[in-house]
Structures are given as structure tokens and as C-alpha cells.
A and B are shown apart, each in its own frame.
Chain A
Amino acid sequence: DAKTTQPPSMDCAEGRAANLPCNHSTISGNEYVYWYRQIHSQGPQYIIHGLKNNETNEMASLIITEDRKSSTLILPHATLRDTAVYYCIVGGDMRFGAGTRLTVKP
């Protein structure tokens, strides 16, 4: 079973920030948090990962709480093309849960 909990769906207005939460209360001290997304019927795409510190790349920002039991993926200016299922994964066994279906609306 996946070691993370995510809301099943979220909506976001185009151009606004999308904040996707993930709970991983059983995370171990040296396990990384990874985020992937899957656009309909395509292979999952890596977005970002982090261990303790907040991370930012050209796609998104990752905010990890100090106790590491939860994190938030931030898409700063969501576009229609960001509509996808977003997966939060913890650790090295790469077990995907159901993810969050993000719908960006015009």
C-alpha cells in the first residue's frame, strides 16, 4: 500500500497557484518525497523531489513541513495543460497511490 494520503480531486483557476497537499506521517528519516504527474493515458512525468528542505525547479515548488509528515506541491501559475493526476510518493519503493486529480479551469 502507498504510504501517502492525498485528496482525490482538486480544482484550480487558470493562472492561479495550485497547492496540492500530501500526508506522509510514517515517513522515515532518510526517505525522500517525490512528486510525479500523469496526463491522461501518458506515462507519469517526474516533477520534483525533496528530503528536508524546500525545493524549487522550473515546474514547481515543494514545501516539506519541519516534522516531514506532510508536504505541498505548488504550481505557481497553473495552466490548462497542468490538468493531470498528481502523485506523491515516499521512499524508494515507488508505490503509487490514487493521487490527486487536478483540474485547471479557464
Chain B
Amino acid sequence: ETGVTQTPRHLVMGMTNKKSLKCEQHLGHNAMYWYKQSAKKPLELMFVYSLEERVENNSVPSRFSPECPNSSHLFLHLHTLQPEDSALYLCASSQDVPLREAYTQYFGPGTRLTVL
């Protein structure tokens, strides 16, 4: 247990569905992240939120829509996904500190998403 939970753990959806992934952290952190991990590929940073403001969006398609209503919760809203979006989606949190100073990310277990 890392203090970061993700639901659901597994999700199968059709290309026309709308679904949401949820992440919750119980560590008192103020930064949260979404990563995507496709099969046999490195983790790709998708979104970064610091103090509930989006600070980074790595050119992610608009069919992925993040939401950070407070420092403990992070959502990833999904709509009209493609089969190539099937992947492990990982959430992480950290205590945000000035750039390049030390901070540690704690990851959730991930949501295994399959798009049919």
C-alpha cells in the first residue's frame, strides 16, 4: 500500500463509451500525475497537477480529459477512445517542491484499460 488508490482496477470499454478513472491519495501531497504505460513501452507522462492547477500537458489527445477537484482526488475522463489507447494508466502523487529539488512520487496500482 502506497497511500494512492485507483479505481477501477480493470476497465473494458467500447470506442463510443464515456468512462472515468479515479485516483485518490491519502498522503497529504499537493501534486498529482497521470501516466500511460502501453505494452512494452516506457511510462509516458500525460498530465501534471500542482495545487489543483494543471501545470503540464504532454500533447495528450483531447479524448483524455483530466480533472483535479482538490489536492486528494484526480480523475481522467475518457471518451471516444481508440483501441491503441488500451494501456495501464497510472496515477502518482508527490509533495510539490521547487523545480529540481528532491521529491518522491508514490504510485497507485494502476487501471488496466482495454478499448474494444
Contacts and interface: CB of A to CB of B under 8 A. Distances in A.
The residue in A28, A51, A94 that gathers the most chain B C-beta atoms within 10 A of its C-beta is A94
Given A96-B42, A98-B42, A41 B104 contact: no
Interface residues of A, number: 24
Contacts, number: 53
Main secondary structure of the interface of B (DSSP, over half): loop
Contacts of B33: 94
A42 to B, nearest CB: 6
Q: How large is the interface on B (under 10, 10 to 19, 20 to 34, 35 or more residues)?
A: 20 to 34
Interface of B: 2, 4, 33, 35, 42-43, 45, 88, 90, 92, 99-110, 112
21 contacts: A30-B100, A31-B100, A32-B102, A34-B104, A36-B105, A41-B88, A41-B110, A41-B112, A42-B109, A43-B2, A43-B4, A44-B43, A45-B107, A46-B105, A49-B102, A49-B104, A92-B99, A92-B100, A94-B45, A95-B45, A97-B42
